[in-house]
Amino acid sequence: MHPEGEAMSNTRVALVTGGTRGIGLGIAKRLASKGFNLMITGRRSHDEAELALAQLREQFSDGSLNVQYCQADVADASHRERLLADVEATFGRLDILVNNAGIAPTIRADILEASEESFDELISTNLKGPYFLTQAAANWMIRLQEQSKEHRCIINVGSVSATVASVNRGDYCITKAGIAMATMLWASRLTQYGIGVYEVRPGLIETDMTKGVRNKYDNLIEGDLLLEKRWGTPDDIGIAVAMLASGDLPYSPGAVLTIDGGLTLRRL
């Protein structure tokens, strides 16, 4: 472990939850390109995560990037504690937390019929997990800020579902609305310590999670659903997160970046 007060490495460190595929991997790749050392985490085994790790390490064939994986479920308090301990033992510091890990309901059920089990699972993973991971990470970041004033921030990956109602996945929408409020709460609390808190709010992003509705939205995209008539990509989200992580959006506590091709832009 790195005792507090011991000199830290000059290389900044980002922790990306759910960072082995989809949006999380797109974010990790962009942070790697900015020179961040990375801890990525997810529920998959180390063997299952190895392909993603290899892709990240290929960006720096000279070995200058240190990217590590910790198998952890953010819904589990003991996993969150072990994850941060792993970051400290490996890097001795934490500059950026990206709360990206999230799940969709296994069954898209009308809210008149949806189960409590699905609701509890989504609340635990999508809302409670990142809320309390933020709490623990923020307390550590505050101590680090006392040692060296640097740009440190927490970035929540939300969704347009925070404000756009989908009655066949109400539990998901509620978790993302909660993430929107959590961003405001943590920004209100942490700005005084020089710790930024932001939300990146994706729209329709082409990932494994959206495979099941691909045909439906292909047709809507061809219509007038979006202004920019294409699926978003994980890299689109990665670009926004990397900008925030680099400190390139000053004077903007609690800022929400909506990356949705114009989906939620009000139009007549």
Residues 23 and 235: their CA atoms lie apart, in Å, by 7
Band of the pLDDT at 3, cuts 50, 70, 90?
A: very low
> What does the pLDDT look like over 10-50, one tens digit per residue?
899 999 999 999 999 999 999 999 999 999 999 999 999 99
Mean pLDDT within 170-186: 98
Picking from 56-60, 184-188, 191-195, which range would have the lowest pLDDT averaged per residue? 56-60
Picking from 56-70, 87-101, 244-258, which range would have the lowest pLDDT averaged per residue? 56-70
Mean pLDDT within 238-265: 98
> What does the pLDDT look like over 203-239, one tens digit per residue?
999 988 787 788 889 999 999 999 999 999 999 999 9
pLDDT of residue 4 exceeding 70, the answer is no
Inter-CA distances, 23 with 53, 133, 143, 177, Å: 15, 19, 30, 19
> What does the pLDDT look like over 41-91, one tens digit per residue?
999 999 999 999 998 988 776 667 899 999 999 999 999 999 999 999 999
Residues 12 and 8: their CA atoms lie apart, in Å, by 10
- Indicate if the alpha-carbon torsion angle 130, 98, 201, 192 is positive or negative: positive
172 is an active site residue: yes
Strands 37-42 and 67-71: parallel
The rounded radius of gyration (Å) of the Cα atoms in the chain is 18
* Range 13-259 has CATH code 3.30.1330.10: no
- pTM metric for this prediction: 0.95
Q: Which of 131, 172, 193, 251 is catalytic?
A: 172
Domain limits of the chain? Answer: 13-259
Residues 161 and 229: their CA atoms lie apart, in Å, by 19
48: CB partners within 8 A, 6+ apart: 20
pLDDT at 8: 60
Which pair of tokens denotes residue 125? 């993973």
